[in-house]
Structure 1
Amino acid sequence: MTSLYRPARPSAPRGAFGQIVRNEARLAWRQPAGIIAGIGISLLLLVIFGEVPVFQQPSPRLGGLSAFEAYIPVLIAFAIGVLALTYLPGPLVSYREQGVLRRLSTTPVPASWVLAAQLVVQACLMVITVLMLISVSIGFFGASAPKDPGGLILAVVLAIAALFMIGLVIAAAARTTGAARGLTAAAFYPLMFFAGLYVPMQILPRVFQDISHFTPLGAAVQALEDSMWQGFPPATPLGVLAGYAAVFGFLAKRFFRWE
């Protein structure tokens, strides 16, 4: 009689997840394109805006903010978007193409740990970037400290979660790294428009501002801007970010392919 017994999967060695995180961090350091794009470009733009005197003058068209102040939340959102949408999907799709995730399924280490390690590394890079941007803007260019640090932390966490989940859906939908780059570009540039990277949302027609409030990066900028210059962000942008995180998290879990 055929036995229905299936041997239990051996448990992963102690410290295996930490080792995977360290390996992913080393790979990120050896291939620094994402770090340069996410951290370097946003920091460079911040310095450029800070060094232009006219950008330091308050503007009625920007709600009394200077152009420099208006762009701090935008650059934070830009950095999160670059890392989550352009740097996160690529390695995961590459691992799937090379059969790394499939081979891991035959070992005690779950393939999902590679995904989790990528998220840990990317989250650390994002937090470092946010701290650098805020510290430089305050320490070198005299920007005001955030009005509501707790609201700022919540906005950053929700923005990271929402953009992470969108990045994972891109990784799920793309069969090749080339396809991942195409999907990333199709999502990234329109989202950055509605975040106000190219033109501040405050000076665009009302219809664009209304649409922006319901895009992930637009909602992120609104929540960041409110927490930095006014107080605790309103429920709408926080709810939009939480909604994106929940919906795209479900889609990523449903459609992500390990092979």
Structure 2
Amino acid sequence: MSALYRLTVTETKLFFREPMLVFFAFAFPPILLVVLGLVPSMREPQASLGGAGVISLYVPIVLALGLSLFALNGLSQLFASYREKGVLRRMRTTPVKPRVLLGAQLLMATMLSAATAVVMLLIGRFAFDVGLPRQLFAYLVGYLLAALAMFAIGLFVASVAPSGKSAGAIGTLVFFPLMFFAGLWVPRASMNSVLRTISDFTPLGAGVQSLQDAAAGHWPQLVHLAVLLGWAIVAGGLAARYFRWE
């Protein structure tokens, strides 16, 4: 546990030395939420949403966007660049095990992303009158499972990518379909049954629906929580299985 703690602190410090990764992981999602919220049509009350604006639906989607950017373009590139620069090769001579190193990355990313999520919820509440989640505990469970699933996928990409650039390229290829099924361009409610079913079994589709359910006061559906847990276990297992020091 002491090794995990020390590694987590060190990895957090190293992450903040990469200004572009920090911007897209922490600054870009809140900025995008503000831009969307400033569009008048996004704030107009909708009878179908119980008087809330469309912006209330996009808060979970932008949260998912932040997770995706952090996992696929931030964490994966940073970790893969360690291998490219020989950092992991030098760490191989220490008692640190791969699972501890991966666990430190996962813990660091989850804690930092959770802080950003709180900021975005507060922006939505006080800037655009978006209500806080009615089922707060369910919202927390859904968010943490979505974060674990996405960061596990990011670490798997980093484990198989030979360099930081290749990890970024793979992450970009994965990013767009995941965000499509999260509802960024076409809201899940507007998808046909086939697309919605596919979305239900993607990490961000299940994550966004879980957050929207919790925000509305309902417990997320078990199938969505199971999908998120499955992605976290499978991707995390693959990341550990294919981890390479060099």
Q: What is the TM-score of this pair, normalised by structure 2?
A: 0.91
Letter in 1 for 2:135: D
Does structure 1 retain, via aligned residues, the 8 Å contact 2:102–2:155?
no
Question: Which of 75, 81, 87 is the aligned partner of 2:62?
Answer: 75
Does structure 2 retain, via aligned residues, the 8 Å contact 1:61–1:202?
no
Alignment partner of 1:201 is 2:184:
no
Kindly state the Cα deviation for residue 34 of structure 1 after the two structures are TM-superposed: 2.1
Alignment partner of 1:48 is 2:48:
no
Counterpart Cα distance in 2 of 1:140 and 1:186: 33
Alignment partner of 1:221 is 2:208:
yes
Does structure 1 retain, via aligned residues, the 8 Å contact 2:52–2:130?
no
Cα displacement string for residues 70-121 of structure 1 (whole angstroms, at most 9, x for unaligned residues): 1011011111111111111112211112222222222344455443332232
Larger Rg: 1
Letter in 1 for 2:112: L
- Of all paired residues, the percent bearing the same amino acid is 37
Unaligned runs of 5+ in 2: none
* Aligned position for 1:137: 124
Counterpart Cα distance in 2 of 1:16 and 1:254: 21
Kindly state the Cα deviation for residue 235 of structure 1 after the two structures are TM-superposed: 0.7
Worse-superposed segment, 214-223 or 59-68: 59-68
Question: Which of 93, 102, 110 is the aligned partner of 1:106?
Answer: 93
* Aligned position for 1:234: 221
* Aligned position for 1:91: 78
Letter in 1 for 2:91: L
Question: Which of 170, 187, 193 is the aligned partner of 2:157?
Answer: 170
Does structure 2 retain, via aligned residues, the 8 Å contact 1:96–1:102?
yes
Worse-superposed segment, 112-121 or 99-108: 112-121
Cα displacement string for residues 60-79 of structure 1 (whole angstroms, at most 9, x for unaligned residues): 67787532011011011111
Q: What is the TM-score of this pair, normalised by structure 1?
A: 0.87
Q: Please provide the CA RMSD for this pair.
A: 2.1
Cα displacement string for residues 144-181 of structure 1 (whole angstroms, at most 9, x for unaligned residues): 12110110010011101111111111112211222211
Worse-superposed segment, 196-205 or 218-227: 196-205
Counterpart Cα distance in 2 of 1:60 and 1:203: 16
* Aligned position for 2:137: 150
Kindly state the Cα deviation for residue 199 of structure 1 after the two structures are TM-superposed: 2.6
Question: Which of 88, 92, 113 is the aligned partner of 1:126?
Answer: 113
Cα displacement string for residues 177-232 of structure 1 (whole angstroms, at most 9, x for unaligned residues): 22211211111111001111123222233322221111111110000000011311
Counterpart Cα distance in 1 of 2:74 and 2:138: 27
- Paired residue total: 246
SS in 2 for 1:224: helix
* Aligned position for 1:182: 169
Counterpart Cα distance in 2 of 1:90 and 1:48: 27
What does residue range 9-28 of structure 1 map to in structure 2 within 5 Å?
A: 17-28=4-15
Unaligned runs of 5+ in 1: 1-13
Q: Which of the pair is proportionally richer in helix?
A: 2
Letter in 2 for 1:21: T
